[in-house]
Chains A and B, each alone.
Chain A
């Protein structure tokens, strides 16, 4: 498979998953505020600032808006085109990547990306405000449909594995960030209203975190109704069977990487395989107490760093393949997290417009 095609499959999948997760973040926040509106004010900025904090985007946000509110945060995370991680940007980038490999993916996959893109072109802030639940559900379902279409119309070979790696790396990162939202909320509340940290509000917040991972029902089947933070974290981080847990996602990414390279347990052939294997092994032998003793926030921050490293190694191993004839500057152009966006558009767009007979 062409390295470029593999890379575009990877980013198409990754941006799609990112859009879904952003929809989940926002959806759960709205739900949470509805549950809480007897206890606290719906426009309480501490609930909205957390969403910006977990995306590590505080600076850019502050240059665009002067308050944290439902309106500004929704605008930033759903519509804003200068935010590369907004839902609109992500789907635009997923589509751009898909378009550049339209001959490699199934036409059903293309139609699904394209449909969602056109749907988003017609969505207004008013529409989202009137029916946030309906809108986020639409995004989530579109993503599920895309994955279902991919699984059923696209050969399960190397290209499919790159799609899986991207999806699960992105998902792992997002679950970690989502759990971290809760951390940020607790932190900002502890500063403003210390009396509220523990109690019914706390339980409601944790339930919201579960809901945003579509995990509440699965959780209850395991832990019945014992909704306490230890169990919830144990489930979201360490459970091996739930598809939106960190452990499950890391295992799935590892499987896909190993299928591509032919690595097996105790025998890795490249650094991407080594790093993901190490991460998986550690997760398998970690108890929730280990995480607490390190500190939840630190643990999650470290995990996110390691996921970035895996992504870098995937890039170097498969996408940046080069021979001595190719100057290294070419490789630097294609840094992770840009995909087909930005940089590439500038350098060759003018020449690509050459006359056609």
Chain B
């Protein structure tokens, strides 16, 4: 075993460790990796770290730190130790997510058509109709193939026993897939020998699968559909990803001002005139999409694009109004949603969730603020959160006030100690860092999930927050066949 791992403290009595079992021995799917890392000296690791850094820097994989002077671009923190997922565990995740996304799509279709699930009182109607992401004006609109959520990324965690649980669904504009792809490229450069030793399922076909999905959802009348990516622009934190995906798919990357709508059709402005667009993979929020319909002050959107969409002349991916289904309150109903539409038991469990809008739950939440995680229903990126055990009395009192004032907007969950994975804290020392997993799900004629996903790592010692905006990093994720 490696000198690195000899000094590694897994603390398996407190956490589920991905590499070291409760008995203190390495899990078998990590054997070859530990053996290989055992051959490395500190200098070997530093040299590989350098290869990876140069790769990321040359690719322009940096993110801009807002509010600082121009030129402050940081490398996205990357951990050299890959996560290994055995094929049988991956199979459960794959089946579970396919089931979940299929049910959520059926739910969206129902909400925007007959609303049977509300009439059958499986979900209280006021939770849906009162959601800020419910778009009344799209009731009755039929997206091609009846698909709303073409690209999603649900966050999966493991609890203390190692069970895979879904923490949240991102059904609007999930980001990070470019990091998944680039992490793999970087690892191939830095650790070619290790790739020889494992049968790692490839993920490189993601851009082709994405393009295929987008072409499948084009308006039925259009042959050889013209797909574009719509980005908020170069100052968006995920801009690198938008341009990366456009380049990988070989389609145009557009900003709002590149598109015009004429006679309810969408066109790109080119040096040769106007060219019609059939599918827009948009990475712009609903609110900024069309100044005529949503925020009138939006400079990022395309005036008239929503009407073009309603007329069926262009397909938006994802559809408008999907946010109603990834609201953290609706999340707590996903097991019921799966049963209601598919008649099946959920393959992947939810994290237990209390709703502040439910009076008995509210009482429990207020009494246990010091041990629960409280989340605002509509925030993402790790904002608007109270982590009970790490909070001060003052913060708890603050949250209590906000929760009582607006119970619909809050949920609470037990503080789950996410599983840990050894990571290089610096290049000389390994430390157990909390991780999650975000696989990317494509939904066109069929549901496709490339094996693995983005493993996010809370690289701050002891931190539970894995979001990149909060100091998180990532590592390569290998689904391996034995």
Contacts and interface: CB of A to CB of B under 8 A. Distances in A.
Interface of A: 1-6, 92, 96, 99-104, 107, 110-111, 114-115, 118, 121, 158, 260, 318-319, 321-323, 325-326, 330, 340, 345, 347-349, 351-357
A2 B267 CA distance: 11
A1 B284 CA distance: 22
Nearest to B275: A2
Interface of B: 57-60, 66, 70-71, 153, 170, 172-175, 232-240, 243-244, 246-247, 252-255, 257-258, 260-262, 268-274, 283-285, 287-288, 298-300, 303-304, 379-381, 383
B238 A110 contact: no
B253 A356 contact: no
**Most chain B C-beta atoms within 10 Å of own C-beta, residue among A100, A318, A322:** A100
A99 B283 CA distance: 18
B236 A352 contact: yes
Summarize B's interface: helix, strand, loop or mixed.
loop
A84 to B, nearest CB: 13
Given A348-B299, A351-B300, A357-B170, A321 B270 contact: yes
Contact of B271 (A3, A111, A115): A3
Given A100-B234, A325-B260, A355-B383, 5 more contacts: A2-B254, A102-B60, A103-B247, A318-B271, A348-B232
Contacts of B170: 357
Contact of B257 (A4, A96, A260, A356): A4
A323 B262 contact: yes
**Most chain B C-beta atoms within 10 Å of own C-beta, residue among A3, A102, A319:** A102
Contacts of A96: 234
Contact of B237 (A104, A351, A353): A353
B321 to A, nearest CB: 15
B235 A345 contact: yes
Contact of B269 (A158, A322, A340, A353): A322
B60 A110 contact: yes
B169 to A, nearest CB: 10
A357 B273 contact: no
Contacts of B70: 92
A349 B246 CA distance: 21
A357 B174 contact: yes
A9 B84 CA distance: 42
27 contacts: A1-B270, A2-B258, A4-B269, A92-B70, A101-B253, A102-B243, A104-B253, A107-B58, A107-B59, A110-B60, A111-B58, A118-B57, A325-B303, A330-B257, A348-B232, A348-B299, A348-B300, A352-B232, A352-B233, A352-B234, A353-B236, A354-B284, A355-B381, A356-B175, A356-B238, A357-B153, A357-B175
Given A103-B244, A325-B303, A354-B288, A3 B258 contact: yes
A103 B246 contact: yes
Contacts of B303: 325
Contacts of A321: 269-271, 273
B234 A99 contact: yes
B300 A353 contact: no
Contacts of B262: 323, 325
Query: 4 tightest A-B contacts by CB?
Result: A103-B247, A352-B235, A357-B170, A352-B232
Nearest to B256: A348
Contact of B300 (A103, A345, A352): A352
B257 to A, nearest CB: 7
B235 A348 contact: yes
A357 B241 CA distance: 13
A260 B172 CA distance: 40
Given A2-B270, A103-B244, A357 B233 contact: no
Nearest to B241: A356
Nearest to B304: A325
A356 B236 contact: yes
Contacts of B258: 2-4
B424 to A, nearest CB: 24
A103 B243 contact: yes
A6 B60 contact: no
A19 to B, nearest CB: 17
Contacts of B272: 1
A324 to B, nearest CB: 9
B255 A4 contact: yes
Contacts of A101: 253
Contacts of B71: 92, 121
Nearest to A112: B58
A145 to B, nearest CB: 15
A92 B381 CA distance: 30
A353 B66 contact: yes
B271 A114 contact: no
